[in-house]
Structures are given as structure tokens and as C-alpha cells.
Chains A and B, each alone.
Chain A
Amino acid sequence: MADFLDQVEQLRPHERRVAMATLLAARGGSPRPLGAKLFVGEGGRLLGSVSIGGCVDARVVEHGDRLLRENRAERVTVSVDDAEALELGLACGAEFDLLVEPMALDDADPTVALYTEGARRSRAGQSAFMATSVSDGVVSRVLLTRPEDAPALAFVERLAPAALLVIVGASDVAVALARVARMLGMRVVVVDGRERYATIDRFPAGTDVCVGMPSELVRPWLIEGASVVLTSHDYRYELPVLREALRAPVRFVGMLAGRKRADAVRTVLREEGMSEAELARLHAPIGLDIGGREPEEIALSIAAQLVADREGKPIAHR
């Protein structure tokens, strides 16, 4: 999921004011986590969602339009209560509480300023929680490092940074994977030793592209929660990067390789003294078995595995 800074950057070129709807509570089930956001632009643009679309988001958009005109915040409840749909079993009957509030998309807006600071802290690896209280239509917020410091009855959301994906090897698969990952709201860093491949114009906007010694360029990004995917398909980068990545606190390390070549890479690393526990962290071959062969299809299978890993789902390998 994209973080607040990413979302604001997407909206700023097009909208001056938006209504931000935040999901505070759900009864009867919700496919989106609490804290999910839907931005309703004054000029008509929409970004994000508080449900999987359809009737709930549409009603929130109506509230957003109204509260932008009235220039005030409100806690609203939206029910999926269409009697006919319920009778036919075509509606879930869920109920959602949301805070819908207008804000100007500039740093002087107190809400934007506070969320921006929170996103900066979380991107820097610091703990950041936003506590939001609503009383008589007045919204008050405080940015915290510990959720237990929140005022009573406040809605507390963890400001998690966008998931970080480090791609080693600026291949065609890397280009496609960066596109899919950006679509999934990930922050993407691409590393390669070859200047001709690792050019900014090949990758989607917002991708960090680094050229140099790959095993050294990846070091600052080998942080807790990061995923590392090697798409260079070349041992000259794979071995040095794996020596770093498999010993780092990242959550996922995967390599584009056939089973035989993957085993050969493991053998070299084992002979160098890498432990079985470290080697077991390497996902190779990488990607779900969807049968695709084109770069975009391989990228899709890799991205699907990253999501499955995040969700703790068992997978069928390529």
C-alpha cells in the first residue's frame, strides 16, 4: 500500500483540496484494513479506497463532495443495507464508520504536515503512530512513537512505510517488475553495474535507479521488511549481492534462476561457508507457477509471490 507521501504526491499536480476519508471501524467484515484511505478531490479525482469498491466507496465519495463544500469534518456511518440486495444475498450487510475531512494539499495544512512528518519518520525506520480524536466535529491529532501514549478513545493507526523492493539487475523483467511493484504501492530501488541498462527512462516514475558496484549499492537498502529480487541472471552480481542480502535482516530474498542454476549458486555459497539457515532464506527459482514466459508475465508471478509471502500464504513454485 502506498504511504501518505506517495498518495499526496500523486494528487498534488491535479488537486488543490481533497476530502480524506479514513476507515475507523467496520462491522460485518471489511476487505480493507482499518486506517484505509480514500481521497476525494475537489476537481473530481479519486485515489485509494476504503472498501473493495462499489456501493461503499461511492457513498463515501458523496460525503466527501458534501464536506468539501461545507468545509468541515464529520464522522459518518455507511451501511450496506439495500433491502433487495440483502434479500438476494448480494450484499454483505456490513457497516463502516469513517472520518471524512477536507484538507488543502500544501504543507501549511496541519493534517498534511502531520501525516507528512509521520511518513518521513516511518521511511527513516522510526516508529510512527497517528492518534486521531473527533469531538463535536472537531478533529485533533497527535503523532506518537508509542501507541499506548494515545488519548483515550482515539483512533490509532500505525504509519507504515511503503514496502521496499530492491531489484538487482536492470533487465526487461526488472522493468516489468518495477511497474507492477509501483502499482502495488511499493517503493522500488533498482541496482545494476551496467550504465546502459540502469537508466531512469526505462523505469516508472518514482523508481530509484543506482549504478555502480551492486553488492555495495544494495547495502543501505538491506533493512528489516525489505524484499530483494535478483533479476540479473548473472553470477557476477548474484554471488556478491547474495553474500550481503542473505545475512541481512530483510524479509525476502529471491533470485530469477532455473532450479539447476539456483542449486549451483547455493553450492558456491555453501562452499564459501554460508550456513544452511542463511541459504534456506533464498527463494530460487522465484515466482508463482502461472506458466508465463514473457518478462511481464514473469514479473507478475514474482510480484504475486511477494504478496503471498507478505500474507503468509503457501505457494506453488515455478
Chain B
Amino acid sequence: MTAPYGATVLEHFRRPRNQRALERPTIAREGYNPLCGDRVRLELDVQDGHIRAAAFTANACAICTASASVLTERLRDMVVAEAVQIPDAELVDALGSIPAARLACATLPLKALRTAIADLTSA
């Protein structure tokens, strides 16, 4: 049986980038999928409207973990207002081939990001 995803997911699952806790995050929010049990927490260090560092902790499947890894690389030095606009499709495309039934796994870190930025900007 072959894995239902490609080399990018495998690479980022085996060697996740930014999988750690930030020392003093500006904000941290957790994404949770009650169906499969995936949990991912995204932490951001925001200064002057820019994301200076992004990191994550995941107790999640390979797709969700890889997605958080790819996303945190993408977020570095990004303007917060732009980060919140990242579409689902952009992250899913960056991960390569993802089965339709697993899209929720791929987009969970984005949901955590949007919640974090919404809470940050409304604070």
C-alpha cells in the first residue's frame, strides 16, 4: 500500500521545520479536529505588524504536521494582514497531492492561524 500523499508531506513530516515552542509568543492558538483527534498549536512572534517567528506543536497526522511545517516557513517575516489572506488552496498545493478526504487535515494549521490573527487584531 502506498502513502496517500507525496514527497513534500513525507519530507516535512519526517523533518518538520519550526516544530518547537517559542520562548515568548505574542499569541498562540490551537486547532483541533474532533473527528480524527488532530491537534496543532501555532505560535507567533509578531512585531510591528510582521511575523518575526512562527512555530508549532502537533499531535497530529503526517498531513497536518507537514502542513504546519510548510505554513510556519511561509509565515516568517510576512505581514500579518497578508498572512490572514493565505487561501486554503495555496497551502494544499504547496503540500502536493492530498486526497480530498484529508483536506481538513491540511487546512487545520491555517484555521489556527486565522483564529490567532483574529484574536490578535481584536485585542
Residue ranges of A at the interface with B (Cβ–Cβ < 8 Å):
192-196, 212-216, 234-237, 240-241, 268, 271-272
Inter-subunit contact A215/B14 (CB<8 Å)? no
CB distance from A195 to the nearest CB of B (A): 6
**B34 surroundings in chain A (CB, below 8 A):** 194-196
Inter-subunit contact B14/A192 (CB<8 Å)? no
Closest to A241 in B: B59
Q: Mark B28-58, 1 if CB is under 8 A from A, else 0.
A: 0010101011110100000000000000011
Q: Mark B1-26, 1 if CB is under 8 A from A, else 0.
A: 00000000000001000000000000
CB distance from B50 to the nearest CB of A (A): 27
| 7 nearest CB pairs, A to B | A194-B37, A193-B37, A193-B39, A240-B59, A236-B61, A213-B39, A214-B59
Inter-subunit contact B37/A213 (CB<8 Å)? no
Inter-subunit contact B57/A236 (CB<8 Å)? no
The interface size bin for chain B is 10 to 19
Inter-subunit contact B14/A193 (CB<8 Å)? no
Complexed CA–CA distance, A147 and B110 (Å):
57
Interface of A (DSSP majority class) = helix
B92 at the interface (CB under 8 A from A): no
Inter-subunit contact A192/B57 (CB<8 Å)? no
**B79 surroundings in chain A (CB, below 8 A):** none
CB distance from B25 to the nearest CB of A (A): 15
CB distance from A275 to the nearest CB of B (A): 18
**A271 surroundings in chain B (CB, below 8 A):** 14
Complexed CA–CA distance, A279 and B43 (Å):
30
Residue among B38, B39, B61 making CB contact with A212, cutoff 8 Å: B39
**Beta-carbon contacts under 8 Å, B77-113 to A:** none
Known: A193-B39, A194-B37, A213-B30. A237 touches B14 (CB 8 A): no
Complexed CA–CA distance, A100 and B36 (Å):
55
Inter-subunit contact B57/A213 (CB<8 Å)? yes
Inter-subunit contact B14/A213 (CB<8 Å)? no
Closest to A192 in B: B37
Residue among A196, A213, A268, A272 making CB contact with B59, cutoff 8 Å: A213
**A234 surroundings in chain B (CB, below 8 A):** 37
